[in-house]
């Protein structure tokens, strides 16, 4: 059983947890013996995921849009009510839609920043006071390798810029919260096999395998493994961990 110094089981909050990466992270943390509060915007999907995972351990859920500050506050309140506190926050909820710079509308840009950045910012703001009460904690932000390796044929300036803000937030919070023993890290993802691609009109994400030196796309479980490592290692903070199959380092066109 994973524990902290006061002999309490760790409690994690995972946003965007009904499918894909968030689902895999929730599953892994439950398997590692943690309490988890999972979140998604669509209740039917969230309840389906909850029903599938609840037998693995102590699990609660909150339906809500993370772009609203109140949702982060509700997640923390649920964690405190159900499990006594908060030790871990995984800011996984996000939106991504490839679109050219000149075609991006104001409302679309606002949505990218509201969900990808503002949602994570205020979820962390709600969680940190509870982490301080527990003597520390861990925040993991899910970013993208595209902030350091742009692709001309894959324009996504709005979405990537909003994720870049999240990467920057990681550095700032790691400095500000380090004295409170709260660690902050970002995972920069490559292409991961999730339902998100179908929503973008990509029927088979494996066609993007060549963007990675490993010549294959990643699986949600690869991300879950990385999160599990980051929340357990108490000497990692202020860093960006690439889980991208070598995407940022180069491409495989073989």
Write down the residue that tokens 């990537």 correspond to. 160
Position 179 scores a pLDDT of 98
Neighbouring residues of 151: CB distance < 8 A, sequence distance ≥ 6: 211
Angle at 124 between CA 119 and CA 125, to 5 degrees: 100
Token representation of residue 159: 């979405």
pLDDT at 204 over 80: no
Domains and CATH numbers, the chain: 11-243 (3.40.50.720)
Distance, C-alpha 130 to centroid of its chain: 19
Under the banding of pLDDT at 50, 70 and 90, the label for residue 156 is very high
Mean predicted confidence (pLDDT) in 91-96: 96
Of 27-36, 38-47, 153-162, the range with the lowest mean pLDDT is: 153-162
pLDDT at 124 over 60: yes
pLDDT at 207 over 80: no
Mean predicted confidence (pLDDT) in 234-253: 91
pLDDT at 154 over 90: no
Mean predicted confidence (pLDDT) in 206-233: 91
Mean predicted confidence (pLDDT) in 79-88: 98
Mean predicted confidence (pLDDT) in 49-58: 98
Under the banding of pLDDT at 50, 70 and 90, the label for residue 77 is very high
CA distance 175 to 121: 15
Residue 51: how many CB atoms within 10 A of its CB? Answer: 10
Mean predicted confidence (pLDDT) in 166-186: 98
Kindly write down the DSSP assignment for every residue of the chain, as one continuous string: --B-TTSPBPEEEESS-SSHHHHHHHHHHHHTT-EEEEEES-HHHHHHHHHHHGGGS-EEEEE--TTSHHHHHHHHHHHHHHHS---EEEE-------B-TTT--HHHHHHHIIIIIIHHHHHHHHHHHHHHHTT-EEEEEEEEGGGTS--TTS-BHHHHHHHHHHHHHHHHHHHHHGGGTEEEEEEEE--B-STHHHHTT-S-GGGGGGGSTTSS-B-HHHHHHHHHHHHH-TT--SEEEEESTTTTT-----
pLDDT at 211 over 90: no
Token representation of residue 62: 């909150």
pTM, two decimals, is 0.93
Under the banding of pLDDT at 50, 70 and 90, the label for residue 2 is very low
- Strand order from edge to edge, sheet including 88-91: 59-63, 35-40, 11-14, 88-91, 137-144, 182-189, 239-243
Position 194 scores a pLDDT of 77
Q: What is the overall mean pLDDT for the chain?
A: 92
Position 1 scores a pLDDT of 34
Mean predicted confidence (pLDDT) in 51-58: 98
Question: What are the residues facing 40 on neighbouring strands?
Answer: 63
CA distance 49 to 53: 6
């Amino acid at each position: 059983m994973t524990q902290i110094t006061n002999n309490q089981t760790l409690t994690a909050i995972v946003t965007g947890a009904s499918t894909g990466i968030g689902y895999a992270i929730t599953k892994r943390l439950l398997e590692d013996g943690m309490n988890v509060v999972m979140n998604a915007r669509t209740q039917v999907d969230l309840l389906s995921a909850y029903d599938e995972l609840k037998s693995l351990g102590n699990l609660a859920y909150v339906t809500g849009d993370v772009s609203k500050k109140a949702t982060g506050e509700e997640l923390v309140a649920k964690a405190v009510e159900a499990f006594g506190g908060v030790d871990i926050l995984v800011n996984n909820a996000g939106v991504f839609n490839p679109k050219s710079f000149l075609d991006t509308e104001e409302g679309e840009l606002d949505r990218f920043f509201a969900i990808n950045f503002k949602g994570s910012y205020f979820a962390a703001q709600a969680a940190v006071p509870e982490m301080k009460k527990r003597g520390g904690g861990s925040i993991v932000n899910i970013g993208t390798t595209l902030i350091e390796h742009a692709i001309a044929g894959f324009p996504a300036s709005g979405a990537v810029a909003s994720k870049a803000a999240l990467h920057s937030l990681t550095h700032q919070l790691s400095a500000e919260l380090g004295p409170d023993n709260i660690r902050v890290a970002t995972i920069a993802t490559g292409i991961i096999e999730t339902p998100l691609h179908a929503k973008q009109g990509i029927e088979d994400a494996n066609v993007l395998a060549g963007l990675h030196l490993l010549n294959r796309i990643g699986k949600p479980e690869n991300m879950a493994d990385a999160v599990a490592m980051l929340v357990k290692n108490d000497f990692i903070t202020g860093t960006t961990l690439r889980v991208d199959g070598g995407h940022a380092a180069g491409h495989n066109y073989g």
